[in-house]
Structure 1
Amino acid sequence: MSKPLAFLGIGLFFGAGLGFLVAATSGVQLEGHDHGSAVHDHGAHNHDGAAHTTLTEAGTPAPSLTLSLHPDGPQSRNLYIAVENFAFDPEAVNGPYVSGRGHAHLYLNGVKIARAYSPWMQIDALPVGTHELRVTLNANDHTQLASGGAPIEATIEVVIE
């Protein structure tokens, strides 16, 4: 009677291990919840969300930005964030405001998806359809930079066929 129980225990142990190995190598998510799409909402994370909506006057000369998209596969795009009077400053993130320095926040269809610490950013695995990509310039303390009370931001349409 003890041999069948031992074989059962060994079978369960190796069977479960093999099951996890097969699942992990096939791309199955083992984290217990479904994100629904490849785009993940970073707005729910504790990044001091109140700071994202607070405007900080950028000073003179005010930074500006323009966006351009470059194909990177059927559902991916490389985004180029061209800035003037602004320097990406990843080393100082979460620090105090410094005029003309900081990072960018990327929003896809109104949902924050990432921070950009340099002019180039890959946007991967977008679903088929038309999407709005908005980029804001933010200070190191995550407040959104503004000029004359207006947020410094740019929007571009992304079409995935």
Structure 2
Amino acid sequence: MKATNTLRFVLAAMMLIAMAIWQFVPRTSHEILISDAVAAPIDGDPGAIGVFLKLTNTGGPDRLVGASSEVAATTRIEGPMPTLAVPSASTPSLSADGAFLYLSDIKGDLDDGRTLPVTLKFEKAGDITTRARLVAPKTKGAAASFGLFGIGDICQVGEGEPAPKIALRVNQTAQGWEVGVISSDFEFTPDLVDGPHVPGTGHGHLYLDGLKLQRLYAPSASLGVLPAGSYEIRVTLNTNDHRAYVLDDVPVTATARLTVD
């Protein structure tokens, strides 16, 4: 009997110690919110739509590994990579000028205002379902012809106009990564965003393996923590009306690679 009581006491003590340790061990949450989801038919591709939306990651690093929709024959991530890393504490977007969701052979009419169910699959956060509202069709634009992401448009630098150039500097920090943009013949003009084009002015777009992380209104940006892997950071220079600068048929863009162990 005494041995039994002693064993019970030891087990109870071990459970209390384990609970105390669990309370003080740092834990990483994985919570991703989806907002502003829209779907647009793609001109020249009957029955296909692109889905564009905003992600808000309030937890640790995660990865978008796929998507599905009950109204589409196929659903895939349209971009240079089949999966997309989502940094911690970030607000990236699936966008027309970056990676987005491509749905084909949609059931039913593609009427304006219709909502379509879409489920995004994350490595840590799991499956998250949203509804994307159909809006006006999007044209494929000229971006893809110049090796750029997405289905956006471009701005050819005219003769006699400033000829922007760009390079990147990437450093690891305690909170993640710092991206520095070194540019010439270009001015960041946040006060002119959404306004008319002024040669040699505008902002940048920052991408991680094609996922649009943010706009750059200054020559530096911070990224959160990333899952383990090798990644391409890309920055494009864009006009105030969000077209990508192209100089002599070459996009004004720069890339850098980083590896997370």
Q: TM-score, normalised by structure 1?
A: 0.71
Q: Is 1:61–2:162 an aligned residue pair? A: yes
Deviation at 1:27, TM superposition (A): 5.6
Q: Percent identity?
A: 31
**1:17 maps to what in 2?**
none
- The CA deviation string for residues 121-145 of structure 1, in whole angstroms up to 9 with x for no partner, is 0011211110011110000100000
* Residues 7-86 of structure 1: pairs in structure 2 closer than 5 A: 29=31, 31=33, 36-37=62-63, 38-39=86-87, 40-44=91-95, 53-59=152-158, 60-73=161-174, 76-86=176-186
Counterpart pick for 1:100 among 200, 208, 215 = 200
- Closer/same/farther in 2, CA of residues 139 and 31 from structure 1, 3 Å limit: closer
Letter of the 1:42 counterpart = S
Deviation at 1:28, TM superposition (A): 6.7
Kindly report the root-mean-square deviation, in angstroms, between the aligned alpha carbons of the 2 structures. 3.1
- The CA deviation string for residues 81-134 of structure 1, in whole angstroms up to 9 with x for no partner, is 001000001111111111110000011111111111101100112111100111
Partner of 2:94: helix, strand, or coil? helix
Counterpart pick for 1:135 among 235, 244, 254 = 235
**1:157 maps to what in 2?**
257
Deviation at 1:69, TM superposition (A): 0.8
Deviation at 1:32, TM superposition (A): 7.7
Q: Paired residues, what number?
A: 135
Q: Structure 1: which 5+ runs fail to align?
A: 1-25
Q: TM-score, normalised by structure 2?
A: 0.45
User: Which structure carries more strand by proportion?
Assistant: 2
Q: Is the CA contact 2:162–2:186 (under 8 Å) kept in the aligned structure 1? A: no
User: Which structure carries more helix by proportion?
Assistant: 1
Q: Is the CA contact 1:42–1:113 (under 8 Å) kept in the aligned structure 2? A: yes
Q: Is the CA contact 2:209–2:233 (under 8 Å) kept in the aligned structure 1? A: yes
